[in-house]
Structure 1
Amino acid sequence: MDPQQLRTFVTVVDHRSFSAAAQALGYTQSAISQHIAALEADLAAPLLFRRPVAPTEAGERLLEHARPLLLRLDAARADIARLRQERPGRLALACTPGALTPATALALVRARTATPRLVASVRMCGRAEAVQAVLTGTADLALVDGAVAPSDPLPLPDAAPLPAFPVSEEPLAVLLPATHPLAGRPALRLADLAAARWIDAPDAAVPLAQLRAAAQSDGFGHQLTYTGTDIRGLSVLVAAGAGLTTAALPAAKDLPGIAAIPITEPRIVHRTELLHPRTPTSPTAELLDALRPKQSH
C-alpha cells in the first residue's frame, strides 16, 4: 500500500468529500479519484461509497489500520528530524487542561528568558492530541494528566516510542455546586455518586468510562457533553447544576461556586506526566532537566 494513497483515503473519509479532500491536500479532484481507485485495486475491495461519500465495511476496517500507520510514519519523520537537531530555537509545549501547573509555567518562562531568541509556545488540547503532537514533531514536549491508582503510569494512547516521567501526583476531587447537599462532606466515595448526573468532558476531566471502571459501576450517566479544554468554563456549568465532574484538588479549590471534595474510595490520584522525544533539542532538554523530579537523578 502506498502511504500517500492511504493519506488520501483517510482525508476523503474525514471530509466526506472528494473535492474537499483535494482542497485539503492540494491535489486536483482527479488525482484524489486516481489515488482511491489505485488503493481499491491494490486491496481488491471497494473502500468508499460515492454518493454520499462514506466508507464501506472494507473501508472501515482499513481505517483501523490506516490512522495508526500514518501516525507512525509521521512520527518516524519527526524522530529523524530531531537527530539533525532541527528547530533548535523552538520550544513548543502541548498540554492537557489539568496538567499545567505554576511550577511548569515558571520553568518555561525561565527557559525562554535564558535564551532570548527562543520561540516558546503552549497549546492546550486533549490527551490524544498532545501525545500525537510530540510523536509527529509539532510539539517538543507534552504535559498530560489523568486519574490512576497511586504510582501507576498513565494509560496513554499510542505513546510507545515516547519516554515519560511523573511530574506530580495530587488528590482527585469531585466538583459539586456549592449548594449541593454533599458539598460539606470532608470526602466522598466515587461509587456513591454513580447515580448522579455528570458532565461528559473527556478532554477537560477524567473520562466517564474511566470513572465507571474505577468504581466498578455502570452508572455515571450524562445529559450534557462538554467539548473543549477550558476547566473554568466547565466549572461554570457545574456551579449552575448541569452535572458533576472531576479535577485535581489543588486546582479546584479556588473555582467560584464550586465545592471540591476529595475522593477516598477507590484510591485514585490525579497524575501528571511529561512526555518527550528520545532525542530532544537543546532547549527541550534544558526544560526536561528543570521539570524532572530531583530524586530521579
Structure 2
Amino acid sequence: MATAELQGAQPPGKVPHYVNGRFEQFLRDDEISGVVIDGRSRGRIDEQLVGDGRLTFKVQLTGAGQYQFNDAPASEIAGECLVIAHQPLGVVKRQIILDDTEERSVTLFLPRLDNGRIAGFDDEAREVRAASAFLAQRLLFRRYQLPRAAALCAAEILDARRSPWTQERFKRAKIDELTCLLLDFFISQFNHPDNHGLTEREVRRVQQVRAIIAEHLDRPLGVAELARAVGTNRTRLNTAFRAYYGETIGQALQKERMESARFLLGEDTLSISEIAERCGYGHLSNFSLAYKAYFGMSPSVARGSTA
C-alpha cells in the first residue's frame, strides 16, 4: 500500500462534548480516516449509530464499552484488544460507555468507495477478493488478541511527544504503518492455498460457516444446522470445509472457543465460570479439561499468569 498524506480536514462528524481529554481526528488522501482517543468519558454515553458500510479497525489499549447491533445479543469489549467491525448500510449500532471510563485507542475507518471496493484494498489478489466478498452486506464485529506490533505502533501514536516540525510527519508515518499492519492481519485470514479444488460458491459457503461458528460460540450449531444455513448437505460441507481450511468443523470450533477463552481470561470482567458459558461449555469442569488439553495449563493458572 502506498504511503498516504494526512489531510488537515476532519472526517464527517463533530468532536463529542462527552470526551474529556484528547480526541484527534485525521483524514488521509486515500479516504481512510480515523480518530485517536486518550481521555475519559464525561457522563454516561448511550447512542445509536447507523451503519454506512465502513470497515473499522479499533486498536484499544484501555477502555470498555457495550455494543449491540439491531436485535443481536450485546457484546462487551474491555481492556487491550483489536476490534474489527463492518457495519452494513442501515444497520443500527447501540454503544454504551459508562461515566469516567478511561480510553486509549486508535481507530481506522475504511469507507466503501464509489466503485464498490473498500479503501485500502489496493490489488486484486485472491485473498483480497475473498475478503471483499465476505464483507458484502455482512455484519462483522469480532474481538481479537491485539498483535504486539499493532499495540506498539498505537502506543507510539498516542504517546508521541516531538517538536512541532516533526510531530505531524512522525504521526503520518506511524498511521501508515498501523494501517498496513491491520490490513495485513485482516487479509491474512483469507490467505488459503489455491489447490483446494472448490468452486467460488463452495468457498463462500465455508467462509460463511466459519463466521457462523465464531458468532455462536455460546450455543454452537451442529454440522447439519450449519449445512442447512448455507444451503448444502453435511457431507459436502464437511469435505469442502476441510479442503479449504485444512481442519474439520469440530477442530475449527475448538480453536475459536479456546482462543476466545484465552483472550477473556486476560480480562478481569468475567469469572472463569462465565467465560466457560460464553465459550459454550455448560459445566466448568468440562471447560477446564478442554482448556488444559489445548494449552497445557488450567484456566485458573492461565489467568494467574496474565495478572
Q: TM > 0.5 between the two? A: no
User: What TM-score bracket applies, with the shorter chain setting the length?
Assistant: under 0.3
TM-score (norm 1): 0.26
TM-score (norm 2): 0.25
Structure number with greater Rg is 1
